[in-house]
């Protein structure tokens, strides 16, 4: 599989127009994190170096074809002294498949500071590497992300809150050393943030569910490294009418909250248990819109 450097290596083809590469994939649709990550890289190429991204809001409009590159059109919405705003549209075959707004902050402002504490959880070293897992589902799906170390905390080892409807915690990191730039770290985390989050909505259900990301919002709160262990504390406060709302707080090993994520996704109950939540190429087609 391609490295994250290769996946996020977008090509400039004209002023404010970029092209994200495609790579062989076991998925039938382009992975949402790939589209969001490439869109964010494209946006950062049009922003002065002293500005760092602090938030993004994206919508997955159509399913992407993993065999095709995606062209990203960047619109320079605003250039201010403290904040810069960009809008990015991802296009395949002349149709928009993704739309994103990203805001950048100069980063020199000072203000109040607080955060929620990191939840109590076992360390990643106490969880088996899913790359070595014996299940067929793990081997097929996680082969797509073999360069990422993803370790879901076993449910029987979670400290659960009775006030939350559905909960899941995941340790993750990129397996290889990344460069030190802010752009690399945030774009890799944007890619990673789409992994496993929708699964938190299914953690308290036995139903077979067809899943797909509908939208994705993310805030970058403090510096971090995506190639070091991060805890993804995930909850799903509500699910209904074929959609599930999910939330994630991302902490580093020192307990600092470095990012926050909110995502809504498709959560249709399906009768055929052979259809996976994330459709693979050797499974029967579905009607998912993203």
For 9-33, what is each residue's pLDDT tens digit? 999 999 999 999 998 888 888 999 9
Q: What is the pLDDT of residue 143?
A: 74
- CB atoms < 10 A from the CB of 240, how many? 8
Q: What is the pLDDT of residue 209?
A: 82
Q: What is the pLDDT of residue 280?
A: 58
Residues 102, 42 contacting (CB under 8 angstroms): no
157-161, 190-194, 232-236: which range is least confident on average?
A: 157-161
Q: Which are the catalytic amino acids?
A: 194, 213, 263
pLDDT, mean over the chain:
90
190 class by beta-carbon count within 10 Å (0-12 exposed, 13-18 middle, 19+ buried):
buried
Q: What is the pLDDT of residue 46?
A: 98
Q: What is the pLDDT of residue 274?
A: 55
Model confidence band, residue 86 (pLDDT cutoffs 50, 70, 90) = very high
Give the pLDDT confidence of 95-115 residue by residue, as tens digits. 999 999 999 999 888 899 999
What is the side-by-side strand order in the sheet with 95-105? Answer: 11-14, 17-20, 70-79, 83-92, 95-105, 52-60, 209-220, 257-269, 243-252, 230-240, 167-174, 148-152
How many angstroms separate the CA atoms of 199 and 277, rounded?
A: 9
Contacts of 151 (CB under 8 A, 6+ apart): 124, 127, 128, 129, 130, 170, 171, 172
Q: Which CATH superfamily is domain 1-107 in?
A: Hotdog Thioesterase (3.10.129.10)
Model confidence band, residue 151 (pLDDT cutoffs 50, 70, 90) = very high
- pLDDT above 50 (res 138): yes
- Average pLDDT over every residue of 215-237: 97
- Average pLDDT over every residue of 175-182: 94
Q: What is the pLDDT of residue 258?
A: 98
Q: What is the pLDDT of residue 281?
A: 52
- pLDDT above 70 (res 283): no
Please name the CATH architecture into which domain 123-279 falls: Roll (3.10)
What's the chain look like in SS3? CCCHHHHCCCEEEECCEEEECCCCCCECCCCHHHHHHHHHHHHHCCCCCCCEEEEEEEEECCCCCCCCCEEEEEEEEEECCCEEEEEEEEEECCEEEEEEEEEEECCCCCCCCCCCCCCCCCCHHHCCCHHHCCCHHHHHHHHHHCCEEEEECCHHHCCCCCCCCCEEEEEEEECCCCCCCHHHHHHHHHHHCCCCCHHHHHCCCCCCEEEEEEEEEEEECCCCCCCCCEEEEEEEEEEECCEEEEEEEEEECCCCEEEEEEEEEEEEECCCCCCCCCCECCCCCCCCCC
Nearest to 290 by CA among 194, 220, 206: 194
Residues 180, 35 contacting (CB under 8 angstroms): no
Q: What is the pLDDT of residue 271?
A: 72
- Average pLDDT over every residue of 111-122: 95
How many angstroms separate the CA atoms of 232 and 193, rounded?
A: 8
Residue ranges per domain, the chain? 1-107, 123-279
Q: What is the pLDDT of residue 285?
A: 43
- Average pLDDT over every residue of 125-129: 91
Q: How far are the Cα atoms of 89, 157, 169, 191, 235 from residue 251, in angstroms, in the given order?
A: 30, 18, 11, 16, 14
Q: What is the pLDDT of residue 134?
A: 54
Model confidence band, residue 279 (pLDDT cutoffs 50, 70, 90) = low
Model confidence band, residue 286 (pLDDT cutoffs 50, 70, 90) = very low
Q: What is the pLDDT of residue 287?
A: 41
Domains 1-107 and 123-279 agree in fold: yes
- CB atoms < 10 A from the CB of 89, how many? 18
Give the pLDDT confidence of 46-68 residue by residue, as tens digits. 999 999 999 999 999 999 999 99
41-55, 104-118, 130-144: which range is least confident on average?
A: 130-144
């Amino acid at each position: 599989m391609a490295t994250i450097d290769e996946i996020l290596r977008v090509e400039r083809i004209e002023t404010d127009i970029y092209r994200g590469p495609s790579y062989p994939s076991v998925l039938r649709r382009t992975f949402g994190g790939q589209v969001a990550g490439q869109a964010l890289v494209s946006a950062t190429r049009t922003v002065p170096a002293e500005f760092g991204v602090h938030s993004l809001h994206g919508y997955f409009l159509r399913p992407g074809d993993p065999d095709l590159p995606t062209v990203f059109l960047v619109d320079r919405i605003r250039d201010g002294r403290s904040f810069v705003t960009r809008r990015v549209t991802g296009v395949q075959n002349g149709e928009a498949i993704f739309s994103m707004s990203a805001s950048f902050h100069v980063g020199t402002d000072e203000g109040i500071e607080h955060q929620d504490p990191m939840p109590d959880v076992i360390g990643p070293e106490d969880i088996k590497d899913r790359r070595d897992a014996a299940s067929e589902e793990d081997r097929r799906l996680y082969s797509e992300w073999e360069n990422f170390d993803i370790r879901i905390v076993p449910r029987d080892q979670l400290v659960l809150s009775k006030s939350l409807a559905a909960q899941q915690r995941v340790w993750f990191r990129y397996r290889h050393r990344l460069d030190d730039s802010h752009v690399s770290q945030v774009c890799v985390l944007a890619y990673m943030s789409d992994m496993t989050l929708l699964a938190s909505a299914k953690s308290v259900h036995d139903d077979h569910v067809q899943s797909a990301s509908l939208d994705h919002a993310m805030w970058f709160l403090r510096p971090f490294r995506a190639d070091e262990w991060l805890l993804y504390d995930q909850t799903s406060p509500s699910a209904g009418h074929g959609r599930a709302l999910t939330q994630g707080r991302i902490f580093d090993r020192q307990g600092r909250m470095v990012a926050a994520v909110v995502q809504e996704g498709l959560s249709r109950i399906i009768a055929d248990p052979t259809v996976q939540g994330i459709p693979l190429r050797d499974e029967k087609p579905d009607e998912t819109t993203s």
